[in-house]
């Protein structure tokens, strides 16, 4: 590549970082290393939920160097997003790009802002891209965007930026079990809307704690479809859908919605696709005999 071409590309990246950087803020909501955030809408800052360690006395350092108060409007561990409210007209709302147009190996920037307010960047490529996926915390992400770049300490909550300076989503290392991923614009917008309205994301739940157990061979024949294992109920939350359905401590759930329950991943997957108000059939072993129950899913209470 010719030196002039490299220099031009370098200048384009500088412009892209400067353009998107007008919307990047520092979020002081935990001890030691602060996180980054994006002035997503007028009076609204979005950041990574796992970086919010206190809900009071949150401060935001704006691109112009001013430090302002912020109030937590809502948080969602499922998508690792938190919404903070600040005074309007304090920063610039970014230009948004379309993550659906991303291709494998596209060059991108991750931006953050330091404790002192300096804009910082990390560069790399799109390392993996795919369709909708569910996080290990139960959140629905519209698009899988895996990054091949370094998210340095404090970068979570900052934007993924295209070479044109457009924001494609919110970066985090809190969902990929240490791997850098991006929460795309569509997911962020949907989550922000609900967090501003309710302060949390409404999701269905069962209200039970379980652990995998093996089913004795002499009991397998009593089931419609023989199962080698299930999930024993160790705790039933008062007032939960499970309690209202009659599930009790010591029951072993062997089937839920027609599918075997060999581990808690099966349960999380089912709940991720279910809706509040759905009635879910379940088969449990109780005192050695199968019992059929119907569980009406309700909204998980806000914590």
Query: What is the Cα 28 distance to its own chain's centre?
Result: 20
- Nearest CA to 171 out of 121, 118, 106, 228 is that of 121
For 106, 158, 179, 211, 282, the CA distances from 152, given in Å and listed in that order, are 20, 11, 11, 36, 45
Residue 35 contacts residue 154 (beta carbons within 8 Å) = yes
Give dist(CA 48, CA 78) in Å, integer. Answer: 11
Query: Of 80, 122, 240, 260, which one is the catalytic site residue?
Result: 80
pLDDT confidence of residue 112: 98
Give dist(CA 158, CA 233) in Å, integer. Answer: 40
pLDDT tens digits for range 34-66: 999 999 999 999 999 999 999 999 999 999 999
- Domains of the chain, first to last: 3-198 (2.40.10.120), 204-299 (2.30.42.10)
**Rounded (5°) CA angle 36-200-267:** 105
Give dist(CA 301, CA 303) in Å, integer. Answer: 6
- Nearest CA to 205 out of 251, 175, 260, 244 is that of 244
- Residue 278 annotated among the catalytic residues of the structure: no
Tokens representing residue 74 in the block: 């809502």
Where the chain has pLDDT below 70, the residues are 1, 302-303
pTM over 0.85: no
- Residue 142 annotated among the catalytic residues of the structure: no
Give the phi and the psi of residue 127 in degrees, each rounded to 5: -90, -15
A 10 A CB-CB count for 127 gives 16
Per-state percent for the chain, helix, strand, coil, to nearest 5: 20, 40, 40
Query: Of 23, 36, 50, 260, which one is the catalytic site residue?
Result: 50
For 26, 40, 73, 173, 275, the CA distances from 196, given in Å and listed in that order, are 21, 13, 6, 24, 21
Residue 95 contacts residue 165 (beta carbons within 8 Å) = yes
- Residue 266 annotated among the catalytic residues of the structure: no
Query: Of 156, 162, 240, 260, which one is the catalytic site residue?
Result: 156
Q: CA torsion, points 287, 289, 295, 300, in degrees to nearest 10? A: 30
For 78, 129, 302, the CA distances from 139, given in Å and listed in that order, are 4, 18, 15
């Amino acid at each position: 590549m010719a030196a002039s071409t490299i220099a031009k590309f370098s200048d384009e990246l500088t412009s892209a970082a400067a353009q998107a950087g007008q919307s990047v803020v520092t979020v002081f909501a935990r001890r030691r290393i602060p996180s980054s955030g994006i002035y997503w809408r007028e009076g609204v800052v979005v950041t990574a939920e796992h970086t919010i360690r206190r809900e009071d006395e949150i401060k935001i350092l704006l691109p112009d160097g001013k430090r302002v108060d912020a109030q937590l409007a809502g948080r969602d561990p499922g998508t690792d997003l938190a919404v903070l409210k600040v005074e309007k007209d304090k920063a610039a709302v970014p230009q948004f790009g379309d993550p659906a147009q991303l291709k494998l190996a596209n060059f991108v920037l991750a931006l953050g802002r330091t404790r002192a307010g300096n804009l910082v960047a990390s560069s790399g490529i799109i390392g993996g891209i795919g369709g909708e996926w569910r996080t290990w915390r139960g959140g629905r992400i519209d698009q899988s965007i895996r990054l091949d770049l370094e998210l340095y300490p404090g970068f979570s909550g900052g934007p993924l930026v295209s070479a044109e300076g457009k924001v494609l989503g919110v970066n985090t290392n809190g969902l990929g079990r240490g791997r850098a991923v991006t929460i795309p614009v569509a997911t962020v917008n949907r989550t922000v809307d609900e967090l501003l309205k309710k302060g949390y994301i409404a999701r269905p739940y069962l209200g039970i704690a379980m652990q995998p157990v093996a089913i004795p061979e002499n009991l397998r024949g009593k089931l419609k479809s023989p199962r080698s294992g299930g999930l024993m109920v160790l705790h039933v939350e008062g007032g939960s859908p499970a309690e209202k359905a009659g599930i009790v401590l010591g029951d072993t759930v062997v089937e839920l919605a027609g599918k075997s329950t060999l581990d808690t991943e099966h349960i999380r997957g089912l709940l991720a696709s279910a809706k509040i108000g759905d009635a879910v059939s379940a088969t449990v072993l109780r005192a050695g005999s199968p019992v059929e129950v119907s569980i009406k899913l309700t909204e998980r209470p806000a914590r």
